[in-house]
Chains A and B, each alone.
Chain A
């Protein structure tokens, strides 16, 4: 009887504990298959429209600067500022009717501090005022400057493109970077005074071989009627501390290998892609059309980076956030589309606040706040320490992450690297093997083999010499015997 009660007790506890684990995350194994993972981030709060402001049309962009959250409303044409406790502080323009700032469907916002003539730091808000074809530079007391259509060939002449700035970012040097709709040449780089300087980071055009083959047989008239092959445009970007642009765009060739870029001030893509998978969101996905599963590669709409090289991308198709480290290793995945609290229906903007992540949903007009779990914290910490060069400390933290998630191969690699530096080659080999890191395994094995060879070298030498001696001895003996036999015969 006691046993039965105990059994029922265990059973009930098992069910209850199972219920507390609501939704497990996933991660990609070395082989590209999705494996279960512990959640790296948890949803802690969602800010809904009434908490932000009394009236909200449609949130179009968000930017976080100095613990203040700047929200842009693309329908009611206003900027709302929240403090770090997500309480409403003020809005621009203060009065929608009478103000110099009249926007028309703005889509992008950026906030920065610049020194003015008196040497004071003043916060400026840059807004891509899409409908009015201009960029606004706003300060505390109102409009500071506006930059209209840049002096560039594509905006002039007969088939001119209407200048529609979509997203804006400003580097520390005051250079403005603008993504404009319908501009396929790349990101516009404007000087601090608004004059056009150049295009950066042009995406490549991808024509598949079959199309190219048919093109050969087309007449000029036919060719004119075929759809234009245009490079993919950028969706969004982020300027990091060093003035590098992290950009996301749609896939141009179907593989998605160039969806994420890190463009240096020279305009060259320098993103490190040394992880097991090229950073591109979803690694394996289905093309099988069905009603309940999205098909195809990720559709990345925003990217956010923090101070130690970690960057996250937002996939609007599946509502997931993928985080990578500075080497391009996939750190973790979380989020999802749905109707529950903490899921999205049209997530469009992603921002870091410290280590927390804010995700803005344009359809629901909500902002979801995600906080790292213990596991997420450890991963961030270990990556940060490794970035700063403190390998030993980072290995200790990787050890801790394994307590939470033992399939995490990055942790094994982190540990193995330190063991390799310390000279524990055998242990390093084992851990590199668990991490599937063949290059480093090879290095560790080389050292290990050298140690082994040094240990057994005398024995090997003795063996070689003795066997050679034995062979010589027997062949000499044979020869002598043969000589004797032939001698006797003669």
Chain B
């Protein structure tokens, strides 16, 4: 009985509520923020699922659609290509919106981004299964499904930002542009730091090498 209740709760959290959010974005995000229906563990599951989907897409996409060399599979790289942008967007968006008096907390922004991946995960599963059973002429259908997924992500993120920060749609667009700029700045600073660290490292490494060679 206990497991049944647990499964029911999982179903409610992971499938039913995100689906409800798609069909009722305003009501859904209200529940998400104030009704405490958005849960961190669900967000993390979605993030993990998204990473897993990326790996699965690399390995199991049908032969006709798959442009990847199976020898090049690097699951760490694929995972970081999912996780890193999400974190980057979260931080950049939080930085921008605190300046523009957004009401969202960093945890809420992160959860919002992860919940927004839900439609893309769904369509990706359809694409992966379908690509194994379709011919080249029918692949167009999967492209359409893929773009529906991408649209779903944008859609959920847009309404998410409206509701979480209590913004007007225009303000969301402006802050999104600002967020992109902020991401650029963050990346630039990261590049600087990394090159600096690398130079320091090579400097000390050279000293160490010299010491070893001398003694």
Taking beta carbons and an 8 Å cutoff, which residues of A are in contact with B? 31, 433, 438-439, 441-443, 445-446, 449
Contact = CB atoms under 8 A, between A and B. Distances in A.
A450 B69 CA distance: 29
B136 interface: yes
A449 B63 contact: no
A442 B133 contact: no
16 contacts: A31-B71, A433-B63, A438-B63, A438-B64, A439-B136, A441-B63, A441-B64, A442-B64, A442-B136, A442-B137, A443-B135, A445-B64, A445-B135, A446-B135, A449-B133, A449-B135
Contacts of A433: 63
Label chain B's interface by main secondary structure. loop
A447 to B, nearest CB: 10
Contacts, number: 19
Interface size class of B (residues with CB under 8 A): under 10
Interface string B53-79: 000000000011000010100000000
- 9 closest cross-chain pairs (CB), A and B: A442-B136, A446-B135, A442-B135, A31-B69, A438-B64, A442-B64, A445-B135, A433-B63, A441-B63
Contacts of A441: 63-64
Contacts of A439: 136
Given A438-B136, A441-B63, A446-B135, 6 more contacts: A31-B71, A441-B64, A442-B135, A445-B64, A449-B133, A449-B135
B145 to A, nearest CB: 18
Contacts of A438: 63-64, 136
A304 B40 CA distance: 68
B119 to A, nearest CB: 27
Nearest to B67: A438
B142 to A, nearest CB: 13
Most buried by A among B63, B71, B137: B63
A445 B132 CA distance: 10
Interface in B30-86: 63-64, 69, 71
Contacts of B137: 442
Contacts of B71: 31
Most buried by A among B69, B133, B136, B137: B136
Nearest to A32: B69
Nearest to A433: B63
Contacts of B69: 31
Nearest to B139: A442
A438 B62 CA distance: 10
Interface in B155-179: none
A441 B133 CA distance: 12
A445 B137 CA distance: 12
Contacts of B135: 442-443, 445-446, 449
Nearest to A436: B63
A277 to B, nearest CB: 15
Most buried by B among A439, A441, A442: A442
A439 B135 CA distance: 9
Contacts of A445: 64, 135
Contacts of A449: 133, 135
A451 to B, nearest CB: 14
Nearest to A438: B64
A449 B134 CA distance: 9
A233 to B, nearest CB: 37
A433 B137 CA distance: 18
A427 to B, nearest CB: 15
A154 to B, nearest CB: 47
B78 to A, nearest CB: 18
A445 B135 CA distance: 7
Contacts of A443: 135
A443 B135 CA distance: 7
Contacts of B136: 438-439, 442
Contacts of B64: 438, 441-442, 445
A428 to B, nearest CB: 13
Contacts of B133: 449
A274 to B, nearest CB: 15
A446 B64 CA distance: 12
A443 to B, nearest CB: 8
Interface in B169-201: none
A91 B137 CA distance: 63
Contacts of A442: 64, 135-137
A341 to B, nearest CB: 37
Nearest to A445: B135
A439 B64 CA distance: 8
Interface in B118-150: 133, 135-137
B4 to A, nearest CB: 22
Nearest to A30: B69
Contacts of B63: 433, 438, 441
A105 to B, nearest CB: 51
A31 B71 CA distance: 10
A417 B64 CA distance: 17
B120 to A, nearest CB: 25
B125 to A, nearest CB: 21
B130 to A, nearest CB: 13
Nearest to A31: B69
Nearest to B69: A31
A433 B64 CA distance: 9
Interface string B201-213: 0000000000000
